[in-house]
DNA sequence: ATTGCAGTCATACTTAAGTACTAAATTCTT
DNA sequence: AAGAATTTAGTACTTAAGTATGACTGCAAT
């Protein structure tokens, strides 16, 4: 890395020296218009600046969250129903069976049915595992 | 945005014209050495290039995953012990109290003690909530 | 029409989770 | 060394979670 930087700067210095020489020489050669040489030099120098700027400036670092998209195919393949998915999401939100029932206006015993069916489909034994599995398989966000 | 860009380029053109004029003039004024003017011009042009490069070039973007670092300060402030933290992590991994006990070679009743103490410190009622809260507060990864 | 799925609910049960203490041994800390 | 915090473990209990099974309804496809 250090060698690369040194090499780069060496090349830049050589390029600059050549330009200066050319610039000086042109003043005494009438065949080439001085303006053209100056213009060319300007363009080369600006290009050099742009090149240097790209390397000197530290890159912008932005944090990106992994794309949180549900895998609808997986949900279908596991034959998880819409209601079951709702319950699964609420389990993941930390709600108890009773709270889920209240939120969905259905009895706790129905929630238990959904939960049991979910565990079979997700191949887990506990709700904490269900949450992990469901996120692994991108069934819930 | 368009106006801003137009203005910027206008200024750049004016700056260039001034430089060209200066450059031409200096050739006939012996008081100022031609090399100095050329050198100054070079510096200005390179600076201009760097400035332009910063605006024209699309920024280098490095994508990084959100930093998953435990907040040790938070752990201390909540007075969560090392053992409790271990238990918390294993809860988050989906293990039952019994499984956690087996993994740590201690009785399930001890796990229950740790769990209860954790719930008070995390201000939650259930282990599913504990996992959510612990991740919110970056107590576990 | 009947077949099947989704959703609902209930009962009865077992197991796990969680609470509320008490208490002892161990390990830091001062 | 003394005190504080941690870790361990127990008992006794309450509550929540989870299982198994059966039953009823509505709805859509065959």
CA neighbor of A115 nearest in space, from A128, B10, A22: A128
Calpha distance B51→A49 (Å, rounded) = 8
- Nucleotides of D strand lying within 7 Å of any protein CB atom: 5-12, 16-22
Q: Quick one: pLDDT at residue B94?
A: 98
Is 3.20.140.10 the CATH classification of the domain at A72-136?
no
How far: A73 CA to D29 C1' (Å)? Answer: 22
CA neighbor of A70 nearest in space, from A57, A88, A47: A88
pLDDT, mean of residues A27-56: 63
Question: Is A1 a residue whose pLDDT tops 60?
Answer: no
Q: Quick one: pLDDT at residue A43?
A: 66
Q: Are B97 and B108 in contact (CB under 8 A)?
A: yes
User: What residues of A are in contact with residue B24 (Cβ under 8 Å)?
Assistant: 34-35
How far: A111 CA to C1 C1' (Å)? Answer: 33
Q: pLDDT tens-digit profile of A92-139?
A: 999 999 999 999 999 999 999 999 999 999 999 999 999 999 999 999
**Mutating which of B9, B37, B42, B141 best tests the A interface, going by the most A Cβ atoms within 10 A?**
B42
Question: Is A31 a residue whose pLDDT tops 90?
Answer: no
pLDDT per residue, tens digit, chain B (141 aa), is 544 554 555 455 545 555 556 555 555 556 666 556 556 666 666 666 666 666 666 555 666 667 789 889 999 999 999 999 999 999 999 999 999 999 999 999 999 999 999 999 999 999 999 999 999 999 999
Question: Is A17 a residue whose pLDDT tops 90?
Answer: no
Indicate the average pLDDT of chain B.
Answer: 79
Residue B90's φ and ψ, nearest 5 degrees, are -75, -30
Q: Quick one: pLDDT at residue A3?
A: 47
Protein residues closer than 7 Å by CB to strand D: A 96-98, 109, 112-113, 115-116, 119, 125-127; B 79, 81-84, 104, 106-107, 109-110, 112-114, 126
CA neighbor of A118 nearest in space, from A72, A90, A87: A87
Number of CB pairs < 8 Å for A and B?
Answer: 123
Indicate the average pLDDT of chain A.
Answer: 79
Calpha distance A40→A45 (Å, rounded) = 9
Q: Which residue of A has its CA nearest to B16?
A: A42
- Nucleotides of C strand lying within 7 Å of any protein CB atom: 5-12, 16-23
User: What residues of A are in contact with residue B41 (Cβ under 8 Å)?
Assistant: 42, 45
Calpha distance A116→B109 (Å, rounded) = 27
Q: Quick one: pLDDT at residue B119?
A: 98
Q: How confident is the model at residue A87 (pLDDT cuts 50, 70, 90)?
A: very high
Q: Quick one: pLDDT at residue A28?
A: 56
Q: Quick one: pLDDT at residue A67?
A: 77
Residues 6+ away with beta carbon under 8 Å from B99: B90
> Under the phi-then-psi rule, with left for phi > 0, alpha for psi from -120 to 50, and beta for the rest, what region is B138?
left
Q: Which residue of B has its CA nearest to A130?
A: B94
Q: Which DSSP letter does residue A81 get? A: -
Q: Which DSSP letter does residue B65 get? A: P
Q: Quick one: pLDDT at residue B68?
A: 81
């Amino acid at each position: 890395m250090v060698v690369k930087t040194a090499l780069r700067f060496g090349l830049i210095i050589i390029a600059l020296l050549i330009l200066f020489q050319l610039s000086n020489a042109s003043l005494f050669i009438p065949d080439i218009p001085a303006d053209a040489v100056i213009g060319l030099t300007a363009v080369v120098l600006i290009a050099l600046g742009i090149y240097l700027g790209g390397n000197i400036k530290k890159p912008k670092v932005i944090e990106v969250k992994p794309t949180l998209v549900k895998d609808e195919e997986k949900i279908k393949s596991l034959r998880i129903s819409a209601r079951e998915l709702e319950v699964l999401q609420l389990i993941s939100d930390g709600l108890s069976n009773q709270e889920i029932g209240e939120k969905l206006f259905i009895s706790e015993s129905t929630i238990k049915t959904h939960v049991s069916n979910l565990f079979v489909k997700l191949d887990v034994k506990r709700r904490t595992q269900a949450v992990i599995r469901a996120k692994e398989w991108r069934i819930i966000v």
